[in-house]
Amino acid sequence: MKLLSNGLLVAVTGVMLSCAASTKYRHLVSYFDRNGDGKVDLEKHKYPGGFDMDWELRDDNHDGRFERKVLFGYEVGESQVDIPVPTEVKLER
């Protein structure tokens, strides 16, 4: 009986830890159409409560591909990417 309760305790603890871990890294993704052509040109990733973890993808020349990834932390970091913009997503106003 004690072995069963110990196993149950381990299982419950594992589930609680995995829930905490997934909550810690859950983030919000929003899509924007800055030039009004109906296509995504800005994708923002926000981590509520996560300081210096937000980042975004930018299609500044509106050719349907993200070319910049910007990280927001103590300092702003930027890198070049080449990623197609998503379609079939809800655009924010």
Query: Is 22 near Ca ion (CB under 5 A)?
Result: no
Cα gap 77→28, rounded to integer Å: 20
Count of residues touching Ca ion (by CB under 5 A):
5
Among 63, 77, 84, 91, binds Ca ion (CB under 5 A): 63
- The helix or strand, by DSSP H or E, that contains position 76, with its residue range, turns out to be strand 76-84
Amino acid occupying residue 39: K
Q: Which of 46, 65, 69, 71 binds Ca ion (CB under 5 A)?
A: 65
Six-digit token string for 31: 């899509």
E-strand ranges in the chain read 28-32, 42-46, 55-58, 65-72, 76-84, 91-92
- Regarding 37 and contact with Ca ion (CB under 5 A), the answer is no
Q: Say whether residue 54 binds Ca ion (CB under 5 A).
A: no
Q: Is 33 in the site for Ca ion (CB under 5 A)?
A: no
Interface with Ca ion by CB under 5 A: which range of 2-10, 12-20, 27-35, 66-74? 66-74
